[in-house]
Structure 1
Amino acid sequence: MKKRYILFMLMLFAFSKTYATHIVGGQLFITENPNNYYNYNIGLTMYFDALNGNPGAEDPFVNIYVFRKRDNQPIGYLQAPKIERKSVTYANPQCGISSLETYMITYSSSLRLEPTDFSDPQGYYMVWDRCCRNGTITNIQAPGDAGSLFYLEFPPLFKNNANFKNSSPVFPAIKGDYACVNSPFFFDFGGTDADGDSLTYKLITPMQGFSDKANPSVEARGSSNYPRLTWLPGISEANIIPGPKPLTVNAKTGMLSVTPGNVGLYVFAVQVDEFRNGVKIGSLTRDFQLKVVDCPKMDAPKLLFKPKGKNTYYTENEIITVKEGDPNCIEVMVTDPTINQIIRINGRAVNNSKDYFTILPAEFKTKIANDTLKFEVCLDECFVTYDERPIKIELIAEDESCPVPLMDTLSILIRRESSGNKSPEVTTSLPGQYVHVTAGVPITFTVYGKDIDKDSIALSGRGQDFNMVDMAMDFKATSGKAQIQQTFKWTPPCNAKKGDTLAVDFKVEDMRCVGNPLAVSKPVYFIIDQSPNNPPAVETSLATPEITYTIGSSSEIIFDVLATDPDTNTISLAAAGRGFSISDAGMKFANKTGVKQVTSPYAWSPECSMLEGESERTFTIDFITQDKSCAAATDTTTVKVIVKDDTSDVIPEFPNVITPNNDGKNDCFVLEHLPADNCVNQFKDVTIFNRWGKQVYYSKIRKNWCPTSISQGYYYYVVQYTKKSYKGGLTILK
Structure 2
Amino acid sequence: MLLLCSWLLLAAPARATHIVGGEMELVHNTGDSYTLLLNLYFDAANGNASALDADLTASIFDKSTNGRMVNVVLPLTSNTFVNYTNPACAKPTLSTRKLVYSKQINLPAGIYNSPQGYYVAVERCCRNNSISNILDPGNAAQAFYLEFPAVVRNGRPFYDSTPRIFPPLADYACRGELFYYDFGGQDIDGDSLVYDLVTPLNGHSDAAVPKPAAAAPAPYVPITWRPQPPLLPGQPVLPPLSTLNQIPGTPTLGINRTTGRLTVRPSNLGLFVFGVRCSEYRNGEKIGEARRDFQLMVLNCPINVRPSVVMLPTPSSPVPYRPGRDTLRFFPGSNRCVRLRFTDPDPNSRLTLSLSPVNFTGLLPSFTTATSGAVRTPGSPDTLTATLCFPECLNTQGRVFLLDVVVGDDGCSLPKRDTVRVAFIAVPPLNSPPLLTTTAGPTLPLRARVGDLLSFDLTGTDPDDDPVRLEMSGLGFNPVDLGATLSQGTNGRQQRGRFTWRVDCRAVGPDSVLNFRFTAASMPCNTRQATSITVPIIVSYANRPPTLASTLPPPSGVNPPLLKLPLGRLYTATFTGVDIDRDGLTLTATGSYADGSEGFDLTSAGMRFEAQNGTGVATGRFTWDVSCTAANLHRDLLVTFRLIDATCKPLPQTQSVRLQVQSPDTLAVKLYNIITPNNDRVNDEFRLPDLPPNFCDAYFTNLKIFSRWGQQVFTTSDREFRWPGQGSAGIYYYYVTYSDGRKYRGWLEVIP
Q: Which residue matches 1:26?
A: 22
Q: Which residue matches 2:95?
A: 102
Cα distance change on mapping 1:467 and 1:129 into 2, 3 Å? farther
* 8 Å CA contact retained: 1:64, 1:126: no
Stretch deviating more after TM superposition (238-247 or 216-225): 238-247
Q: Which residue matches 2:519?
A: 505
- Tell me how far apart the structure 1 counterparts of residues 171 and 460 of structure 2 sit (CA, whole Å): 56
- Tell me how far apart the structure 1 counterparts of residues 587 and 257 of structure 2 sit (CA, whole Å): 67
Q: Which residue matches 1:360?
A: 369
> For the pair shown, which has the larger CA radius of gyration, 1 or 2?
2
Q: Which residue matches 2:145?
A: 151
Which one of the candidate residues 287, 291, 300 is aligned to 2:293? 287
* 8 Å CA contact retained: 1:611, 1:643: no
Q: Which residue matches 1:185?
A: 180
Cα distance change on mapping 1:58 and 1:518 into 2, 3 Å? same
AA aligned opposite 1:220: A
Cα distance change on mapping 1:408 and 1:13 into 2, 3 Å? closer
- Within 5 Å, give how 1:95-174 maps onto structure 2: 95=89, 101-108=94-101, 121=113, 126-134=120-128, 143=137, 145-152=139-146, 170=164, 173-174=167-168
- Within 5 Å, give how 1:27-426 maps onto structure 2: 27-28=23-24, 44-50=38-44, 53-55=46-48, 58-67=51-60, 69=62, 72-73=67-68, 75-76=70-71, 78=73, 80-81=75-76, 84-86=79-81, 88-95=82-89, 101-108=94-101, 121=113, 126-134=120-128, 143=137, 145-152=139-146, 170=164, 173-177=167-171, 185-191=180-186, 193=188, 198=191, 200-203=193-196, 204-230=198-224, 247-248=254-255, 255-258=260-263, 265-271=272-278, 273=280, 284-290=290-296, 298-307=305-314, 316=327, 318-319=329-330, 321=332, 332-336=339-343, 338-340=345-347, 341-345=349-353, 359-367=368-376, 372-376=383-387, 397-400=407-410, 403-408=414-419
- Tell me how far apart the structure 2 counterparts of residues 226 and 493 of structure 1 sit (CA, whole Å): 77
How much has 1:72 moved relative to structure 2? Answer: 3.6
How much has 1:333 moved relative to structure 2? Answer: 2.5
How much has 1:40 moved relative to structure 2? Answer: 8.9
AA aligned opposite 1:267: F
- Tell me how far apart the structure 1 counterparts of residues 298 and 129 of structure 2 sit (CA, whole Å): 16
Q: Which residue matches 1:584?
A: 599
- Output one character per residue of 1:37-63: Cα deviation in whole Å (capped at 9) or x when no partner: xx9976643223456x44356435343
* 8 Å CA contact retained: 1:559, 1:603: no
Structure 1 residue matching 2:546: 3-state secondary structure: strand
AA aligned opposite 1:217: K
Structure 2 residue matching 1:554: 3-state secondary structure: strand
* 8 Å CA contact retained: 2:19, 2:126: yes
Structure 2 residue matching 1:127: 3-state secondary structure: strand
AA aligned opposite 2:409: D
The alignment of Structure 1 onto Structure 2 pairs a total of residues equal to 593
How much has 1:148 moved relative to structure 2? Answer: 0.4
Cα distance change on mapping 1:479 and 1:442 into 2, 3 Å? closer
How much has 1:24 moved relative to structure 2? Answer: 2.1
Cα distance change on mapping 1:493 and 1:155 into 2, 3 Å? farther
Q: Which runs of 5+ in 1 are unaligned?
A: 1-9, 510-514, 590-596, 650-679, 685-721, 723-734
* 8 Å CA contact retained: 2:44, 2:97: no
Q: Which residue matches 2:747?
A: none
- Tell me how far apart the structure 2 counterparts of residues 542 and 492 of structure 1 sit (CA, whole Å): 32
**1:555 aligned onto 2:568:** no
- Tell me how far apart the structure 2 counterparts of residues 573 and 230 of structure 1 sit (CA, whole Å): 99
AA aligned opposite 1:285: R
User: Normalized against structure 1, the TM-score is what?
Assistant: 0.57
AA aligned opposite 1:174: P
User: Normalized against structure 2, the TM-score is what?
Assistant: 0.56
Structure 1 vs Structure 2 CA RMSD: 6.9
- Tell me how far apart the structure 2 counterparts of residues 407 and 565 of structure 1 sit (CA, whole Å): 87
- Tell me how far apart the structure 1 counterparts of residues 182 and 500 of structure 2 sit (CA, whole Å): 54
Structure 1 residue matching 2:294: 3-state secondary structure: strand
- Output one character per residue of 1:138-158: Cα deviation in whole Å (capped at 9) or x when no partner: 665655543201134678999
- Tell me how far apart the structure 1 counterparts of residues 384 and 216 of structure 2 sit (CA, whole Å): 64
Cα distance change on mapping 1:433 and 1:370 into 2, 3 Å? farther
Cα distance change on mapping 1:601 and 1:586 into 2, 3 Å? farther
* 8 Å CA contact retained: 2:586, 2:618: no
AA aligned opposite 2:571: S
* 8 Å CA contact retained: 1:90, 1:176: yes
- Tell me how far apart the structure 1 counterparts of residues 616 and 149 of structure 2 sit (CA, whole Å): 64
Cα distance change on mapping 1:424 and 1:524 into 2, 3 Å? closer
Q: Which runs of 5+ in 2 are unaligned?
A: 1-7, 227-238, 555-560, 603-607, 610-614, 666-693, 699-739, 741-752
- Tell me how far apart the structure 2 counterparts of residues 45 and 414 of structure 1 sit (CA, whole Å): 48
AA aligned opposite 2:221: P
Q: Percent identity?
A: 17
Q: Which residue matches 2:233?
A: none
- Tell me how far apart the structure 2 counterparts of residues 417 and 316 of structure 1 sit (CA, whole Å): 19
* 8 Å CA contact retained: 2:195, 2:260: no
